[in-house]
Amino acid sequence: MEERLKKLQKLNFDLQNKDFLLTWEKSRAEIEAVLNTAVILKEMHKQNIACRIFDSGLAISIFKDNSTRTRLSYASAANSLGLAVQDLDETKSQVAHGETVRETANMISFMADVIGIRDDIFIGEGDKYQRQVAAAVDFGYQNGILDQRPAVINLQSDIDHPTQSLADLAKMCDKFGSIDNLKGKKVVMSWAYSPTYGKPLSVAQGTIGLLSRFGTQLVLAHPPGYDLLPEIIERASQQAQASGGSFQITNDMQAAFQDADIVCPKSWASFAVMQQRKTLLHNGDKAGLANLEQTCLQENAKYKDWECTSKLMKLTNKALYMHPLPADISGVNCEHGEVSKQVFEENLYDTYTQAGFKPFIIAAMIFLIKQNNPTSKLEELLNKKIQRLDTRRK
Amino acid sequence: MEERLKKLQKLNFDLQNKDFLLTWEKSRAEIEAVLNTAVILKEMHKQNIACRIFDSGLAISIFKDNSTRTRLSYASAANSLGLAVQDLDETKSQVAHGETVRETANMISFMADVIGIRDDIFIGEGDKYQRQVAAAVDFGYQNGILDQRPAVINLQSDIDHPTQSLADLAKMCDKFGSIDNLKGKKVVMSWAYSPTYGKPLSVAQGTIGLLSRFGTQLVLAHPPGYDLLPEIIERASQQAQASGGSFQITNDMQAAFQDADIVCPKSWASFAVMQQRKTLLHNGDKAGLANLEQTCLQENAKYKDWECTSKLMKLTNKALYMHPLPADISGVNCEHGEVSKQVFEENLYDTYTQAGFKPFIIAAMIFLIKQNNPTSKLEELLNKKIQRLDTRRK
Amino acid sequence: MEERLKKLQKLNFDLQNKDFLLTWEKSRAEIEAVLNTAVILKEMHKQNIACRIFDSGLAISIFKDNSTRTRLSYASAANSLGLAVQDLDETKSQVAHGETVRETANMISFMADVIGIRDDIFIGEGDKYQRQVAAAVDFGYQNGILDQRPAVINLQSDIDHPTQSLADLAKMCDKFGSIDNLKGKKVVMSWAYSPTYGKPLSVAQGTIGLLSRFGTQLVLAHPPGYDLLPEIIERASQQAQASGGSFQITNDMQAAFQDADIVCPKSWASFAVMQQRKTLLHNGDKAGLANLEQTCLQENAKYKDWECTSKLMKLTNKALYMHPLPADISGVNCEHGEVSKQVFEENLYDTYTQAGFKPFIIAAMIFLIKQNNPTSKLEELLNKKIQRLDTRRK
């Protein structure tokens, strides 16, 4: 941890009182600060050292989509720092148009320290909503309505899923030693077949939006039609070039896997489908949605061979297999899915520990947003060594 | 805060181990103690000074009606003092008749410090239920079943909504300087048109039940048929007289607004409708309820001109516009509603800060109920200055 | 409390880092350690002494069945030790077959300290599921996925309900002075009539599985067909013999009550019905379930005279009347039920205080599981005397 602290001290970052919405809005130093802090907090947890910085306080959560993993990760992170989670059940409130987002955002924020939002269902809306909430609490804080401004944290939007992509990055660094060591590595973000429909694009977008920044040989593989948001593709290209890496798009999963160092095969819906879905959902068109689902599943079914199998894995350079979980595992929870049982089982340690970084990534975000001198504060906590579970013998 | 502390020291109040059900059961000194403590706690929060008094403990909540604002306020208040909120989901328990209220109340109270209850749907029942819970924990405490007696706090009943009316009063005092300065002020509690139906009477009742005590020129305005509970009307009259103020009822919104210093235009259902609704709800008569809703909406629709417009506001003495939120805003979340967009927008700071007092009012109630010497305890907390968010540099 | 501490010091127990699934997997010393610790924690709560041992941490709860009492007890226990409760809503996750239990269990455990599970609906499944979760976190901990292994606590399974049976035992010890004093006492676990259907067998099984260990004259009374799991019957017989007591099964409630010292009359479904129900539920056979319910209620109705009345109570040796609550009380919440209103009312203090032990039993389990030297830690807490509600005057 001392080494990590030294790294932190050398980084020139400033996340204080900022929101965390998209990784590409953050500098490399800020990304590294989150990673290092997350690893320190994880090690503190392992060594039973308390990292509580709040005597009391609330972490509000707004989940517009079901969630187990992220919900638990957010709750774990908040709790470890001393915050209590209070969920805002959207079904019991009235967040609809501009005016009311402003109102709801202020009403929940009088004593809130963080607002975590998952809103990934509608293309063109999730990120927008998060920014509306951020603008609303800006308004409240600037106008003396709020005594303190809560930070908005993106727990998945239509554009990015930063707590996931940074957990993934933490896992890659753990495997390869450092961000610098990712330079030149072939990283494959690949679509994979799923018998379900409507999975958000933001995991894939988050991956290419982040991994393109570190000089990787980044490949995005998907069948025709399963495009991601054009602006993210454009961004990945530019970032890859700027970082001395490369970014390619292919419709050939096998070619993509060839000599790969890291593979992330995961299903998502096509951009076109997600846009149709948005219109249908907004119109409450159930028949249309049922139709779309059928069309989409039939379209998906053309690409059943986009499955991560041992045969495919053998083409790679003993690649790190990654998945944000839960995966559609062939022969386990579906007939045909994203990954064969054998590949999934062989890489269980890696996918599970990948998930294990997420609570600490979120805790690191909150820690860095809330501290004026986070490095010094971490050092203080490490010196104090207050036991999280107090088991001191008399 | 020192000034506020001095005021507290001079007040002769005793809220320790009491419930808080109706404001008019509390002395003026007790009301002032809540207000002053709330303002101190709010300022402590602003200055990042911890006000935690519980090392652990539970604040139980029972919401028989949906709630965002009050739920969050209660959670914020409890959390700031060190309590965790535990919701009792009525749908998963069996609170029905006398015996079982007694049982449920005791079963949830073994380690509970506070029980907050919203029960505003049925005329003649909410307050009664809260008193049954209070009697049940009395029984438990006196008979050695409970080692400590949790306090019951009214988060809205059929009769009163004290955490709202006291937040309103805090806002008024903030605007006019003190309770004493409210003497002689014209305060208007007015019905306003809403395209919805079945809004509780208790906000309006809470307002006239509280504001009539401070020498105000209090006016209740509503269309014919939108009466409030007769005993509250009677109480407001008596209190107005005793406090050197006045209390008038009118069916003329415009006359009411003339030269007003404070206006609170807000919709509520008529007493008669609420009583019919109670019978229909108890009988599970869905057709009857649908009928009643139509009748009620048609009745409401006769009074669409009961809208708080700029024209009306111009009649006032630059009145403070108040609303417990959310409001039905014409052209924003409904075609015609309680208030015009312009009036609502112009008074946003006031209604939002009005709402901002509620968490601290609730925290003040709990603080004063739980401390044997609250003034001295507040002083101690202010001297200790423990940071709520610990950001001390090394 | 000093006496209790001395008892603890003399006991040779080791619950550290263990799960708590079935009472009969624990030694007598371990049972006594839980009881003594629970009583100490209860007394500490009464005397306003904090027993917090966690600076932060999560207590996960998984309730596959509705719960008010156990949910509140678990929340109270967790909170008193410093843990926040995070509920895993099964309806929003995907716990289905082996692989996914392993995954979900690990995903919720990265920062979890305890996992409390109620899973009592299906014969042959609840205990199995709890062991799958335990095995999954073992796997995670041993493979470096989890930095700490959360403890699994049975909040009711198809087999046992240890937090209930130990709360019951605490009540019996409170009444009769000690476990040793239960030797020779006639304890009756009796079926009783209920107009409802499908009540779990595990309360009755928990009672005979625990009470048979202390030399009691244990009697299980039920109508023909209302058998319990054969292996529990077998275990109770063996334990009764080994402890110098006896265990008898009878179909005669009156004979059972004769000269009884403790009676626990409570309804449960028959083993056969529960097994049919399991199949029907799994198949989603609604018609079959409705049929079964009717058959079961008709079968129950044959035994309406299995009601705990004053007449029956007079046969006993002024027996302690026990019930885990809520009870079906004749003339109160049903026409005919498990107990007459008179008997229930006369024994209110006993059943309510019986329930009052449960939060402290759960807290004691967690305390003993998490401390390396719990006795010494308790002594330290008692010496420190930190006020739970801090009301120190300046």
Tokens of B257: 């607004």
Residue in chain C nearest B108 by alpha carbon: C72
Q: Are residues C225 and C178 in the same domain?
A: yes
pLDDT of A90 reads 65
Considering the domain boundaries, does residue A393 fall inside one?
A: no
Residue A4 has pLDDT above 90, yes or no: yes
pLDDT band at B110 (very low <50, low <70, confident <90, very high): very high
Considering the domain boundaries, does residue A391 fall inside one?
A: no
Q: Are residues C113 and C9 in the same domain?
A: yes
Which of chain B's residues have a Cβ under 8 Å away from the Cβ of C356?
110, 145-146
Select from A100, A172, A160, A95 the least CA-distant residue to A126.
A160
Q: Are residues A277 and A315 in the same domain?
A: yes
d(CA A330, CA A325): 14
Task: Look at the alpha carbons of A325, A328, A329, A331 in this order and tell me if their dihedral is positive or negative.
Answer: positive
Considering the domain boundaries, does residue A304 fall inside one?
A: yes
B334 backbone dihedrals φ, ψ, rounded to 5°: -165, 165
d(CA B65, CA A244): 59
Contact (Cβ atoms closer than 8 angstroms) between residue A391 and residue C375: no
| Mean pLDDT of the region A6-33 | 97
Rg over CA atoms, chain C: 21
Which of chain C's residues have a Cβ under 8 Å away from the Cβ of B112?
76
Q: Which of A68, A85, A392 shows the shortest C-beta gap to C88? A: A68
HEC profile of chain C: CHHHHHHHHHCCCCCCCCCECCHHHCCHHHHHHHHHHHHHHHHHHHCCECCCCECCCEEEEEECCCCCHHHHHHHHHHHHHCCEEEECCHHHCCCCCHHHHHHHHHHCCCCEEEEEEEECCCCCCHHHHHHHHHHHHHHHHHCCCCCCCCEEEEEEECCCCHHHHHHHHHHHHHHHCCCHHHCCCEEEEECCCCCCCCCCCHHHHHHHHHHCCCCCEEEEECCCCCCCCHHHHHHHHHHHHHCCCEEEEECCHHHHHCCCCEEEECCCCCHHHHHHHHHHHHHCCHHHHHHHHHHHHHHHHCCCCCCECHHHHHHCCCCEECCCCCCCEECCCECCCCEEHHHHHHCHHHHHHHHHCHHHHHHHHHHHHHCCCHHHHHHHHHHHCCECECCCCC
pLDDT band at B91 (very low <50, low <70, confident <90, very high): low
Which of chain A's residues have a Cβ under 8 Å away from the Cβ of B73?
110
The separation between the first and the last C-alpha atoms of chain C, rounded to the nearest angstrom, is 29
Select from B323, B45, B33 the least CA-distant residue to B168.
B323
Which of chain C's residues have a Cβ under 8 Å away from the Cβ of B110?
72-73, 76, 355-356, 358-359
Helix (H) or strand (E) holding A250: strand A246-250
Q: Which of A46, A348, A390 shows the shortest C-beta gap to C147? A: A46
d(CA C291, CA C294): 5
CA distances from B48 to A35, B55, B139, B262 (A): 28, 18, 40, 32
Q: Are residues A342 and A365 in the same domain?
A: no
Ranges of chain C whose pLDDT falls below 70? 90-99, 393-394
Select from C159, C160, C203, C164 the least CA-distant residue to C69.
C164
**B293: three-class secondary structure by DSSP:** helix
Which of chain A's residues have a Cβ under 8 Å away from the Cβ of C84?
75, 79, 84-85
Residue contact B391–A380, C-beta within 8 A: no
Residue contact B99–C66, C-beta within 8 A: no
Considering the domain boundaries, does residue A389 fall inside one?
A: no
Residue contact A79–C376, C-beta within 8 A: no
- Tell the residue number behind the tokens 């239990």, with chain if given: C101
Q: What is the pLDDT of residues A190-226, one digit of tens each?
A: 999 999 888 999 999 999 999 999 999 999 999 999 9
Q: Which of A88, A92, A103 shows the shortest C-beta gap to B326? A: A103
Q: Are residues A188 and A233 in the same domain?
A: yes
Show Cβ contacts of residue C314 under 8 Å, excluding neighbours closer than 6 positions: none
User: What is the predicted ipTM?
Assistant: 0.95
pLDDT of B96 reads 44
Considering the domain boundaries, does residue C322 fall inside one?
A: yes
Chain C nearest C-alpha distance from A246 (Å) = 33
Residue contact C390–B55, C-beta within 8 A: yes
Burial B92-121 (b: 16+ CB within 10 A, else e): ebebeeebbbbbbbbbbbbbbbbbbbbbbb
pLDDT band at A94 (very low <50, low <70, confident <90, very high): very low
Instruction: Collect all residues from C whose CB is shorter than 8 A from any CB in A.
Output: 53-58, 60, 84, 86, 88, 92-94, 96-97, 99-100, 103-104, 106-108, 110-113, 140, 143-148, 370-373, 376-377, 379-380
Q: Are residues C242 and C350 in the same domain?
A: yes
Chain C nearest C-alpha distance from A376 (Å) = 21
Q: Are residues C89 and C204 in the same domain?
A: no
Task: Look at the alpha carbons of A345, A347, A351, A357 in this order and tell me if their dihedral is positive or negative.
Answer: positive
Residue B95 has pLDDT above 60, yes or no: no
Residue B89 has pLDDT above 80, yes or no: no
Which of chain C's residues have a Cβ under 8 Å away from the Cβ of A52?
55-56
Chain B nearest C-alpha distance from A393 (Å) = 21
Residue B286 has pLDDT above 50, yes or no: yes
d(CA C189, CA C218): 8
Tokens of B320: 């403070």
pLDDT of A394 reads 47
pLDDT band at B90 (very low <50, low <70, confident <90, very high): low
pLDDT of A91 reads 59
d(CA B189, CA B249): 10
Residue contact C86–A84, C-beta within 8 A: no
pLDDT of B393 reads 56
d(CA A20, CA B197): 41
User: What residues does A60 pair with on adjacent strands?
Assistant: A86, A115
Select from B81, B80, B157, B168 the least CA-distant residue to B356.
B168
pLDDT of B273 reads 84
Relative orientation angle of helices C162-176 and C69-81, to the nearest 10 degrees: 80
Q: A141-147 contacts: CB < 8 A, separation 24 or more?
A: A143/B349, A143/B352, A144/B349, A144/B353, A145/A106, A145/B349, A145/B352, A145/B353, A145/B356, A146/A106, A146/A109, A146/A110, A146/B356, A147/A110, A147/B42, A147/B45, A147/B46
Residue B242 has pLDDT above 90, yes or no: yes
Determine which of C164, C329, C388, C393 to mutate to test the interface with B (most B C-beta atoms within 10 Å).
C388
Contact (Cβ atoms closer than 8 angstroms) between residue A332 and residue A279: no
> What is the number of alpha carbons within 13 Å of residue A150 lying toward its C-beta?
29
Show Cβ contacts of residue A97 under 8 Å, excluding neighbours closer than 6 positions: B332, B333
> What is the number of alpha carbons within 13 Å of residue C46 lying toward its C-beta?
15
Residue contact A352–C140, C-beta within 8 A: yes
Which of chain C's residues have a Cβ under 8 Å away from the Cβ of A39?
none
Specify the CATH number for the domain of residue A181.
3.40.50.1370
Considering the domain boundaries, does residue B40 fall inside one?
A: no
Helices (H), chain B: 2-10, 28-46, 69-81, 98-107, 126-142, 162-176, 202-211, 230-242, 253-257, 271-283, 286-301, 310-315, 341-346, 348-356, 358-370, 374-384
Considering the domain boundaries, does residue C394 fall inside one?
A: no
Q: Which chains touch B (3 or more CB pairs under 8 A)?
A: A, C
Select from C45, C3, C28, C119 the least CA-distant residue to C367.
C45
Residue contact B57–C67, C-beta within 8 A: no
pLDDT band at B94 (very low <50, low <70, confident <90, very high): very low
Q: Are residues A187 and A104 in the same domain?
A: no
Q: Are residues A107 and A177 in the same domain?
A: no
Task: Look at chain B and report how many structural domains it folds into.
Answer: 2
Contact (Cβ atoms closer than 8 angstroms) between residue A206 and residue A235: no
d(CA A324, CA A332): 17
Chain C nearest C-alpha distance from B83 (Å) = 9
Residue contact B93–C355, C-beta within 8 A: no
d(CA C137, CA B393): 38
d(CA A299, CA B296): 51
Q: Which of A92, A107, A146 shows the shortest C-beta gap to B325? A: A107
| Mean pLDDT of the region A254-283 | 91
pLDDT of A393 reads 55
Q: What is the pLDDT of residues C331-386, one digit of tens each?
A: 999 999 999 999 999 999 999 999 999 999 999 999 999 999 999 999 999 999 99
Contact (Cβ atoms closer than 8 angstroms) between residue B132 and residue B169: no
Q: Are residues A186 and A86 in the same domain?
A: no
Residue A98 has pLDDT above 70, yes or no: no
Select from B48, B83, B69 the least CA-distant residue to B385.
B48
Instruction: Collect all residues from A whose CB is shorter than 8 A from any CB in C.
Output: 42, 45-46, 48, 50-52, 66-69, 72-73, 75-77, 79-82, 84-85, 325-326, 329, 332-333, 348-349, 352-353, 355-356, 358-359, 386-394
pLDDT of B71 reads 92
Determine which of C1, C52, C54, C68 to mutate to test the interface with B (most B C-beta atoms within 10 Å).
C68
| Mean pLDDT of the region B349-354 | 98
User: What residues does C28 pair with on adjacent strands?
Assistant: none
- Tell the residue number behind the tokens 């600037």, with chain if given: A142
pLDDT of B99 reads 57
- Tell the residue number behind the tokens 């996992």, with chain if given: C115
CA distances from C189 to C196, C263, C337 (A): 19, 6, 16
Instruction: Collect all residues from C whose CB is shorter than 8 A from any CB in B.
Output: 42, 45-46, 48, 50-52, 66-69, 72-73, 75-77, 79-82, 84-85, 325-326, 329, 332-333, 348-349, 352-353, 355-356, 358-359, 386-394
Determine which of B97, B99, B371 to mutate to test the interface with C (most C C-beta atoms within 10 Å).
B99
| Mean pLDDT of the region B237-266 | 98
Considering the domain boundaries, does residue A125 fall inside one?
A: yes
Q: Are residues C86 and C129 in the same domain?
A: yes
pLDDT of A42 reads 98
| Mean pLDDT of the region B356-369 | 98
d(CA A175, CA A260): 14
Chain C nearest C-alpha distance from A381 (Å) = 13
pLDDT band at B279 (very low <50, low <70, confident <90, very high): confident
d(CA A226, CA B138): 65
Q: Are residues B167 and B153 in the same domain?
A: no
Q: What is the pLDDT of residues B221-232, one digit of tens each?
A: 999 999 999 999
Residue contact A392–C380, C-beta within 8 A: yes
Containing structural domain, residue B171: 162-355
Q: Which of A77, A352, A387 shows the shortest C-beta gap to C145? A: A352
d(CA C262, CA C317): 8
Select from A229, A316, A230 the least CA-distant residue to A268.
A229
